[in-house]
Amino acid sequence: MTILWGNRTKEILSAPCLPSRPLCPMKLAAMIKKMCPSDSELSIPAKNCYRMVILGSSKVGKTAIVSRFLTGRFEDAYTPTIEDFHRKFYSIRGEVYQLDILDTSGNHPFPAMRRLSILTGDVFILVFSLDNRDSFEEVQRLRQQILDTKSCLKNKTKENVDVPLVICGNKGDRDFYREVDQREIEQLVGDDPQRCAYFEISAKKNSSLDQMFRALFAMAKLPSEMSPDLHRKVSVQYCDVLHKKALRNKKLLRAGSGGGDPGDAFGIVAPFARRPSVHSDLMYIREKASAGSQAKDKERCVIS
């Protein structure tokens, strides 16, 4: 995917809320949502680009989980979500990764868009509220839809398709009002933690979220440092640190010195992240499907 500089970029760059000077002279700045035009390109291998999709009914705490993941904060006020898109970049052991986060609507007014979200998703978080039985039944339907959709895409049976997926029973701090029986949850999850895992969490209390993210990334064979508690958060003003660290660690790895401190990982949340177009999503689906049979690094993550 190639993003061209246009009038919209000029509007963003001239906005009064942004600093008057470029935020970052490095190539990575071009990736941070068009904030610093550059004649050069930064290519992220397709194998390092992933999308995390959060699904569930309304008012179960999907956005609160996303907020904890991105900022570590909890917003008590409820605002209905139509669809929110976020993007995060990591420097981990000499590699740069891109993780898109799709916070979906609980009302799913457009079934085709939900199906597209599932098709483009690489890892999934299904959320229900422990005090709302209807939301648990919705998670049952969602899991089945994910397996059906992914098995069709990968030309596999539902029993053989691998989809990194965790189910979260949120609002564990409201245990007194529980409406979902533990045995029903165990029956839904099954007995294979490599295929599906369950976590009882509280986004409000920040309980068990770190363990949940670690398990999800382990299932997807992604670096554990993607979990919020295992990397340093870097603000956009210092995004050159991310790029420099990746280059330095890559040189150390090539030299055989181990790449420095294994815990030396950084993450940046991209401002002004915009959901890719439907056409870009369809190209992404095709690329991921072909990458299943032969690993290719294509131009989806090339930004110029």
> What is the overall mean pLDDT for the chain?
78
Of the chain, the percentage scoring pLDDT greater than 90 comes to: 45
- The residue with tokens 């990334």 is 217
Q: What is the pTM of this model?
A: 0.77
Position 73 pLDDT exceeds 50: yes
Rg (CA), the chain: 20
Question: Lowest-pLDDT range, 139-143, 240-244, 261-265?
Answer: 240-244
Among 75-79, 216-220, 258-262, 265-269, which is the least confidently predicted range? 258-262
83 vs 104: CA distance, rounded Å: 5
77 vs 167: CA distance, rounded Å: 24
Q: Model confidence over 224-237: pLDDT tens digits?
A: 999 999 998 887 65
Block residue for tokens 């210092």: 238
Strand, coil or helix: 165: strand
Confidence of residue 85 (pLDDT cuts 50, 70, 90): very high
Q: Say whether pLDDT at 198 is over 80.
A: yes
pLDDT score at 299: 43
Q: Is the pLDDT of residue 238 over 70?
A: no
Segment 164-184 mean pLDDT: 91
DSSP bridge pairs for 168: 127, 199
Q: What is the pLDDT of residue 90?
A: 92
Question: What are the phi and psi torsion angles at 128 (to 5°)?
Answer: -130, 165
Whole-number Å distance between alpha carbons of 52 and 289: 17
Per the DSSP assignment, residues forming a β-bridge with 91 are 96, 266
Range name among 85-94, 239-248, 273-282 with the lowest pLDDT average? 239-248
9 or 42, greater pLDDT: 42
User: Tens of pLDDT along 48-65?
Assistant: 999 999 999 999 999 999
| Bridging pattern class, strands 302-303 and 49-56 | unpaired
Q: What is the pLDDT of residue 3?
A: 35
Interval 25-47 mean pLDDT: 51
How big is the CA angle at 283 (ends 280 and 286), to the nearest 5 degrees?
155
Q: What's the CATH fold of domain 46-228?
A: Rossmann fold (3.40.50)
Give me the mean pLDDT over the 133-143 stretch: 96
- Determine the pLDDT at residue 286: 82
Length of the chain: 304
- So where are the chain's domains? 46-228
